[in-house]
Amino acid sequence: MSSDDLENYETDAELALYREYRDVVGLFQYVVETERRFYLCNKVDLQVKASGGDVYFEVTMTDAWVWDVYRSARLVKNVRVVTFKDVNIEELSQDDDAMPDIRQLRAR
């Protein structure tokens, strides 16, 4: 397999993922971004925890869709993320047609 073939495969996979995102985004209420992943979900709970002077976040999501081009099953019943990094949670409006720039999502 040549490097061009690999690049074309990755580009096609990213485009398919973006199309899937576009198809499912209207089914979810929240967007959750962590340092490693981008999620769509219908229920999210953020807990701020402290341990030995450090602060970390525990995020629990229900009925989630995961932005991950290499993941075969992107729909997940329950997700739990523990992180020391920033977590961004946004509530989607039902009439929001705005979609994130694919270049930002591809970097995940």
What pLDDT score was predicted for residue 71? 85
Domain ranges of the chain: 3-106
Residue 18 one-letter amino acid: Y
Cα–Cα distance, 5 to 13 (Å, whole number): 12
- The per-residue pLDDT for range 86-108, each reduced to its tens digit, is 999 999 987 645 555 555 555 55
Q: What secondary structure does DSSP assign to the chain, as a single string?
A: --HHHHHHHHHHHHHHHHHHHHHHGGG-SEEEE-SS-EEEEEEEEEEEEEETTEEEEEEEEEEEEEE-TT-S--EEEEEEEEESS--EEEEPPTT------HHHHHT-
Q: CA-to-CA distance for 82 and 98, rounded, in angstroms? A: 29
pLDDT digits (tens, 9 = 90+) for 55-70: 999 999 999 999 998 8
CB 68 within 8 A of CB 4: no
Q: Is the pLDDT of residue 39 over 70?
A: yes
Give the position of tokens 């807990």. Answer: 47
